[in-house]
Amino acid sequence: MDRKITTVLFDLDGTLIDTNELIIQSFLHTLNHYYPEKYAREDVLPFMGPTLAETFTSIAPEMVEAMIQRYRMFNHAQHDSLVKEFEGVFETVKSLKESGYKLAIVSTKIGETVMKGLKLTQLDQFFDVVISLDEVVHAKPHPEPLQKALEQLDSKPEESIMVGDSKHDILGGKNAGTLTAGVAWSAKGREYIASFEPDFILEKMSDILEYLNVEHA
């Protein structure tokens, strides 16, 4: 790798922790309440990545807040039973931290939801900076969330990489001037994440250690 990388920014849901089933069930629970039997699993996959406000505004602008509230109540109630860490994530993030890399979470979720996931998987110990929807005016792919994370880490875009599973992560990284890495385990498939032309694709999380020449824990 030509650039000297000091900083790794991670999306959380679908990247570090497997919240796919939780998110799908949360959308189906919410949408089937208002539109019984209209939505199936494959119908809600496109909703994974944007903010809840963006998604529900596109469906029913007059009911956005009610739908968000119903979604979050179900999501938080089912969180711990449905969420798990992707294979190799804990060891990889631990290796990056121990090797001196500056790490941050940049998510389109609210802070409460982000922290539930980090604490459940014990990943919270590795991240000094967490940028959630609560800290920004504009969500990814706008560069603001990444810029805030870099500012708090005292890092420059050219020495950083954004890792994620959706177009919001890859385009957010490009808009902020960082390198980008897409994860092949995106719920929408490898071809989906590859279509946004990240600088490289991780087939498994530990691949980032190879790219950065970091020894495994």
What amino acid positions are annotated as catalytic residues? 11
CA dist 147 and 142 (Å) reads 9
What contacts 73, CB < 8 A, 6 or more positions away? none
End-to-end CA gap in the chain: 21
> What totals of helices (H) and strands (E) does the chain contain, helices first?
10, 8
Q: What's the CA gap between 208 and 198, in Å, rounded? A: 13
Side-chain half-sphere exposure of 198, counting CA atoms within 13 A: 26
At 107, the amino acid letter reads S
What's the order of all strands across the beta sheet hosting 200-202? Answer: 129-131, 102-106, 7-10, 160-164, 179-183, 200-202
DSSP helix/strand/coil, 152 = helix
143 contacts: CB under 8 Å, gap ≥ 6? 172, 175, 176, 177
